[in-house]
Every structure is written in C-alpha cells, then in structure tokens.
C-alpha cells in the first residue's frame, strides 16, 4: 500500500479532462501530464495535433513542479536570476519553462501538473484553472 499522500488516478484523469476541455475552448492542442509527489507519471495525454516535443516538456514540467514543490516558472526564474545552469541539477527532467504547477492539498505537495503546447502563460493558466475546477 502506498502510504504517502498523492493525487489519485481519478483526480489525475479529471485534471487531464479539464485541461483538454480548456484547450478545446481556444481550439489549441496541448500535452498534459500529472505526476505523484515523487515526480512519477500518473496520467498523460497529448491531444491530436499537439507538437510531439510538447509531450516530453509537459511531463518534465509536472515532474519538476512536484519534486521542487514550486512552479516551473519560479524554477526558471531561480535558474536565471542566480545563474544556476540547468545541468547543475544533474537531472535532465528538470525544466524552467512555465506551465508546471505543484498540486497542493492541506499544505502538502501531492503531485505536479504540466501543460505544454501554448505560451508559458497559457500553459500555466490551463494548469491552474484545471486544478481549481477539480479541487474546489
């Protein structure tokens, strides 16, 4: 039995569904990923027409936000402002592209969500609105 609190598979699926719904409203394809708090993938979808590179980027965004417990936008700012190269983490899955958010419940990170395929701001908006819809 997995004892650490984490996003459930049904919650992960609901997050993906909401993100796809939001992307469809603006007629833009995305890739979206949800991980547990350890950064391991729980659910993933790349919409028809989404750039194949967005698949890996979405997964990296979800991974980074989960294990670093902050948005990938904040991670990127930290890297740039403190002149810390991405290679310093010795982890090729770490990214500083905006669009990844930690999933926080009761003050604990229970997972990460990454959206890719649009601007960093739009990716982040879709992730945020999806989490608000599922966890409110």
Q: What percent of the chain has pLDDT over 70?
A: 90
pLDDT value of position 88: 60
Mean pLDDT of all residues belonging to the chain: 92
Residues whose CB falls within 8 Å of the CB of residue 78, separated by 6 or more in sequence, listed in order: 84, 96
Number of domains the chain contains: 1
Distance between CA 56 and CA 132 in Å, rounded?
24
pLDDT value of position 89: 62
The domain that holds 110 is classified in CATH as: 3.30.450.150
Please check whether residue 104 lies inside any domain of the structure: yes
Query: What are the helix (H) ranges across the chain?
Result: 9-25, 52-68, 72-81, 120-135
Average pLDDT over residues 65-80: 91
pLDDT value of position 79: 80
pLDDT single digits (tens) 32-70: 999 999 999 999 999 999 999 999 999 999 999 999 999
pLDDT single digits (tens) 16-41: 999 999 999 999 999 999 999 999 99
Please check whether residue 4 lies inside any domain of the structure: no
Please check whether residue 2 lies inside any domain of the structure: no
For residue 64, give the nearest of 30, 112, 32 by alpha carbon.
Answer: 112
pTM of the predicted structure, to 2 decimals:
0.92
pLDDT value of position 61: 97
DSSP state of 27: T
Is 41 exposed, middle or buried, given 0-12, 13-18 or 19+ CB atoms closer than 10 A? middle
Domain that residue 46 falls in = 9-135
Please check whether residue 46 lies inside any domain of the structure: yes
pLDDT value of position 91: 80
Please check whether residue 85 lies inside any domain of the structure: yes
* Residue pair 22/12 in contact by the 8 Å Cβ criterion: no
Average pLDDT over residues 90-119: 93
User: In this model, does residue 3 exceed pLDDT 90?
Assistant: no
């Amino acid at each position: 039995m997995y004892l650490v609190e984490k996003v459930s598979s049904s919650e992960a699926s609901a997050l993906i569904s909401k993100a796809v719904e939001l992307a469809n409203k603006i007629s833009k394809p995305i890739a979206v990923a949800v991980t547990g708090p350890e950064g391991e993938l729980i659910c993933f979808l790349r919409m028809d027409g989404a750039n194949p590179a967005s698949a890996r980027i979405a997964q990296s965004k979800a991974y980074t936000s989960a294990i670093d417990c902050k948005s990938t936008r904040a991670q990127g700012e930290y890297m740039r402002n403190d002149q810390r190269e991405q290679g310093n983490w010795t982890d090729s899955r770490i990214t500083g592209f905006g669009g990844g958010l930690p999933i926080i419940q009761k003050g604990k990170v229970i997972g990460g969500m990454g959206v890719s395929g649009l601007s960093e701001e739009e990716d982040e908006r879709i992730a945020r609105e999806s989490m608000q819809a599922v966890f409110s």
